[in-house]
Amino acid sequence: MPRSAVAESPGEKLNPEAIREQLESIVQDPAFRSSKRSIQFLRYVVEKTLSGDADQIKERTIGVEVFGRPPSYDTNEDHIVRTAASELRKRLAIYYGEEKHRSELRMSLVPGSYIPQFKLPEPAGAVAETDAGMDGVGGLATITAAELELKEPLVVSAATERSWKNWYTVSTVAVVLLVAVFGYLWFRPQSAQALFWKPVVETPGAVLLAVGDVPNGPPSSTPGETASSLPIIHKTSSTTVPFADAVTTARVLGVLQLQGKRVMIRREEASSFTDLREGPVVLIGAFNNEWSLRLTQQLRYSLALDAEKHLIYIKDAKNPSLRTWSWATDKSTDDQGAAGGPVLMDYALISRIWNSETGHVVIVVGGLYTYGTETAGEFLSDPQLMQTIAKQIPKNSHTNLQIVLGTTVTDAVAGPPKVLAVSAE
């Protein structure tokens, strides 16, 4: 059955052929072609479900049959299935986020499990039909005075007067309760996510989102390097951006659009200092975004290079000799975080910087490697994760705020973000 028939016939029952056709379209898309793991995972759970064996889709079963783990492997120590499922969900979100795919049969994983679910797209006119008969204010139905018809003459009696008095009392109580509710909503503490993004959201105008370019190898040191020297970024001529940066861009874009902000997206190379002065800015990327390096240089935590030890790292100005939060630039990128190997960590730095000259805020979101950038985007777009630092976010939006995150890499997939340090000064 062609996919167009699925989109045009919302009442039609899904069949295996339509689902398999959609599966092939998904795995051949650029969002999936670069991830063999996501393709294997999606094919496995879809075929299991179509064969009637959805009840067998368990974490251990997937680990053994898809990723070659031994039957006795410890799922508490080896998170391969959970991290692969997280990656699959992200890639599906990117796929269906494109306009050209929104009319297609939708695949997703049921929340809290690894079982796939299949849904036909909403017909284009569904929303309009649902709103028929509603007014333009909040979708509330209205009744005009002309539509009311009195069946009997209106007579005011003593009982009616008492009812009016009772109604007045009830109305007064209702007003008091409404005032109390609105007062609570007005004065209640804001969420950590709302406080973090507040100076961006409250600034009039559009937000510039500048995404780092594809790097051509690791950064290098400046000849005659001093403590204030910036690492030199080597870029390719590619007009694309790294996948992790694209995922993080999509997450940040979603947060800002939910707040009603208009966003302009540009490559870092196409962004000038004049652009940074015109309004709030979000910089995506660390060692592939020169603005990120420059603007964090004078803060407590900055992005630094140790050329002798072949490390890029997050530097702590109060402990400059430490290299705890680092990434080796001379190591192979193959089999990163493979099961049975040494624990591999990546790190990210999130900085909210107030520029007193322009009166605008700049937010820098970048990891030492791609895993760090991706986990930083996950942290900023998840209200529950951000709530862990609620007490450390300054209410004064003119105070610089920095967050250091860490993530464990398992089979080349980033794990959940962990807050390592917060600085507000």
Query: Which pLDDT score, from 0 to 100, does residue 35 have?
Result: 82
Query: Which pLDDT score, from 0 to 100, does residue 168 have?
Result: 58
Q: What's the whole-model pTM score?
A: 0.60
Are the C-beta atoms of 324 and 318 separated by less than 8 Å? no
Whole-number Å distance between alpha carbons of 317 and 217? 26
Which of 267, 412, 273 is closest to 341 using CA atoms?
Answer: 412
Which residue reads 């699925």 in tokens?
6
| Distance set, CA 25 to CA 3, 18, 87 (Å) | 10, 11, 18
Residue 72 is classified by DSSP as: T
| CA angle, 204 then 208 then 213, to 5° | 170
3-state secondary structure 234-250: CECCCCCCCHHHHHHHH
Which of 324, 349, 323, 346 is closest to 333 using CA atoms?
Answer: 346
Whole-number Å distance between alpha carbons of 81 and 87? 10
What is the DSSP secondary-structure string of 167-225? HHHHHHHHHHHHHHHHHHHHHSPPPHHHHHHHHHHTSSSPEEEEEPPPBSSS-BPPTT-
Whole-number Å distance between alpha carbons of 275 and 201? 18
Tokens of 186: 């007005």
Compute how many other C-beta atoms are within 10 angstroms of the C-beta atom of residue 29.
15
Are the C-beta atoms of 362 and 294 separated by less than 8 Å? no
| Distance set, CA 168 to CA 29, 158, 160 (Å) | 64, 15, 12
Query: Which pLDDT score, from 0 to 100, does residue 185 have?
Result: 43
Residue 342 is classified by DSSP as: -
R_g of the chain computed on alpha carbons: 27
Question: Measured on CA atoms in the order 216, 221, 224, 230, is the torsion positive or negative?
Answer: positive
Residues in the chain, pLDDT under 70? 1-13, 122-189, 222-229, 273, 335, 339, 357-358
**How large is the greatest C-alpha to C-alpha distance in the chain, in angstroms?**
98
Residue 300 is classified by DSSP as: S
Residue 357: CA count within 13 A, CB half-sphere: 6
Question: Measured on CA atoms in the order 182, 186, 188, 192, is the torsion positive or negative?
Answer: positive
Q: pLDDT tens across 80-129, in order?
A: 898 888 888 888 888 887 888 888 999 999 888 899 999 887 665 443 33
Query: Which pLDDT score, from 0 to 100, does residue 178 have?
Result: 63
Query: Which pLDDT score, from 0 to 100, does residue 349 have?
Result: 97
Which of 176, 202, 150 is closest to 354 using CA atoms?
Answer: 202
Contacts of 69 (CB under 8 A, 6+ apart): 63, 78, 80, 339
Query: Which pLDDT score, from 0 to 100, does residue 189 have?
Result: 58
